[in-house]
Amino acid sequence: MPIYEYQCNACGHEMEALQRMSDDPLKDCPACDQAELHKKISAAGFRLKGGGWYETDFKTGNKKNLAGGSANSGNAKGDKSAKAAAKTA
């Protein structure tokens, strides 16, 4: 269930509420009992940030860095020569 942020337009009280997406928005402020509570637009509590964590999970061989690109990417002949060079090194 998502956590929604609310702010009262009457008194400025801010709060968070754990609600289902299908639930109606809250209206009544618990601090001043006015029907002035409105949902705030806010960012998610986490960020998927970094250098391609999703690209390198479960990848093998020279496919590990797809975002960085290489001269051999997409070239089957270049892929074979890179594997051969890695085996001899």
Placement of tokens 């890179």 in the chain:
82
The DSSP call for residue 77 is H
Placement of tokens 């949902």 in the chain:
39
Closest CA to 72 of 59, 85, 87, 54: 85
pLDDT at 73: 46
In this prediction, the residues of the chain whose per-residue pLDDT falls under 70 are 44-89
pLDDT at 42: 78
pLDDT at 71: 47
pLDDT digits (tens, 9 = 90+) for 31-54: 999 999 999 987 766 666 666 656
Q: Give residue limits of the domains in the chain.
A: 3-39, 60-88
One DSSP character per residue, 26-49 reads: P-S-TTT--S-EEEPP---S----
Distance CA 68, CA 34 (A): 54
